[in-house]
Amino acid sequence: MLSLSLIFFTILFAILVYYLINSFRQRSSLPLPPGPRPWPIIGNLPHLGPFPHHSIADLARKYGPLLHLRFGFVDVVVAASASVAEQFLKNDANFASRPPNAGAKYIAYNYQDLVFAPYGPRWRMLRKISSVHLFSAKALDDFRHVRQEEVAILIRAVANAGSKAVNLAQLLNICTVNALGRVMLGRRVFGDGSGGSDPKADEFKSMVVEVMVLAGVFNIGDFIPALEWLDLQGVQAKMKKLHKRFDAFLTTILEEHKINGAGTTSKHTDMLSTLISLKDDADGEGGKLTDTEIKALLLNMFTAGTDTSSSTVEWAIAELIRHPRILGQVQQELDTVVGRDRLVNELDLPKLTYLQAVVKENFRLHPSTPLSLPRMATDSCEINGYHIPKGATLLVNVWAIARDPDQWTDPLEFKPERFLPGGAKPNVDVRGNDFEVIPFGAGRRICAGMSLGLRMVQLLTASLVHAFDWELADGLLPEKLNMDEAFGLTLQRAAPLMVHQRPRLAEHVYRASSS
């Protein structure tokens, strides 16, 4: 047990360092951006509250869209408007690296993954591998049938529930993990192919959600390094424990794949076989791929690439249940384009103009990562006439930008028509070029899996809306549906969406054999 005197002297040392840093801080003729006065030592951490993207949005309304905060010893700048975000992210070479943080150190293999790797040759190698082998248009098209088959399994699982209430989040998670598993590993990760619930899948989802919760905590040790070893919030201990669980899961997958693939000369049929083959080939300027980097990439895929899609679709279905007129219009479009004798496929999606507007509006109101992953200023610079210090952390409040009343009419209302021809924002897209709505981020660190995420969210939303009419469980009225958020790095629902379904397609559609 730590002695009180040791803790006291550690805190005293932190105070001394704090005042020394302030004394020798680089001076600039320009002022720092405005912001609330920080507390001694801990800075503005007490201002964050249980939902930092909400609290920081409130501060930006008071102090302006370019905000300066102090977290411990770290300068933090926040972009809370589209114009400010564009200045940081459009030419973002100075903000391409991540600041040190416990999540990357203790969960993401000590910065050896794609999401948190420092900007440089190794990151470029990992990004190139992902772009060419995992997320290129050809790679996505090659595995289109896999996604369609897994969505069809989901539809049959929902139909087979009959009159029982369905936990939509649970089944969506199984679908997204198995679709990714078949692409990455060549096999389903959970279940027997029936699409039903699986205790292992529930455990995996809880692990992913725990990653997002822990990653969303503003850990004191990240901002006051002298206190890191104390782990005052217990966050680092939880991260280490969770990493062991994930590493055991990923190591088993990797070793089984090596054994099963040994001696085969056939063309790679899954992405993990391709990644393993790249261990022996230098890919670009970064060198060879290591086992740890492979596991770190798998960790990124199975955390960032599954629950974000499933929770986004869950929000979309919740919004459509709350807005029956909009739901009816989406179903009418689907019946016209697809008919009622088959399920939606990915080739239908470009023809579904209104559905795409619904998905965009859902991304606007419920971005999967409401407060962007942090970036760090490599050098000091000037933005909007303010000094941005070297080493400052940049946060982009994606959630606040998408609800900015200066950019959006009725910003809190669910109105897909704003994205249609004749609407207020007909040409705004979500792919990182239009800064009013950037659910995948923008610039060099834009989400590598954006194209896959868009396809999966559109296909799942379209399929669920096309195949079923929906009612809330226990006779709950749509206007009474709980739309509260849960704490975490990603935007989870506070309460899972429990629903009853009524099939609306031809009976044979729900009996089709699975592959």
pLDDT per residue as tens digits for the range 90-147: 999 999 999 999 999 999 999 999 999 999 999 999 999 899 888 999 999 999 999 9
- Provide the residue type at 141 as one letter: D
Instruction: Please tell me whether 447 is known to bind a ligand.
Output: yes
Question: Which helix or strand (DSSP H or E) is residue 499 part of?
Answer: strand 498-503
Share the mean pLDDT of the chain. Answer: 90
Percent of the chain whose predicted confidence (pLDDT) is above 90: 76
Tell me the C-alpha distance between 266 and 246, whole Å: 30
Judged against a pLDDT cut of 60, whether residue 270 lies above it is answered with yes
Sign for the pseudo-dihedral over CA of 82, 314, 349, 334: negative
Name the phi and psi angles at 171, rounded to 5: -75, -35
- Provide the residue type at 288 as one letter: K
Confidence band for 305, pLDDT divided at 50, 70 and 90: confident
What pLDDT sits at residue 1?
A: 47
Give the tens place of pLDDT for each residue, 252-265: 989 988 887 655 54
Using CB atoms within 10 Å of the CB of residue 446, give its burial: 0 to 12 exposed, 13 to 18 middle, 19+ buried.
Answer: middle
- Top CATH class of 121-511 equals mainly alpha
Please, what's the b/e burial string for 58-71 (b: 16 or more CB within 10 A of its CB; e: otherwise)? ebbeebbbbbbbbb
Percent of the chain whose predicted confidence (pLDDT) is above 70: 90
Judged against a pLDDT cut of 70, whether residue 83 lies above it is answered with yes
Tell me the C-alpha distance between 90 and 94, whole Å: 11
Tokens read off for 256: 């089984």
For the ranges 259-273, 317-331, 490-504, which has the lowest average pLDDT? 259-273
Length of the chain: 515
Give the tens place of pLDDT for each residue, 437-478: 999 999 999 999 999 999 999 999 999 999 999 999 999 999
Give the tens place of pLDDT for each residue, 158-186: 999 999 999 999 999 999 999 999 988 88
- Provide the residue type at 142 as one letter: D
Give the tens place of pLDDT for each residue, 192-247: 777 667 788 888 888 888 998 898 899 999 999 989 999 999 999 999 999 999 99
Q: Are 38 and 69 in contact (CB under 8 A)?
A: yes
HSE of 214 in the Cβ direction (CA atoms, 13 Å)? 26
Confidence band for 334, pLDDT divided at 50, 70 and 90: very high
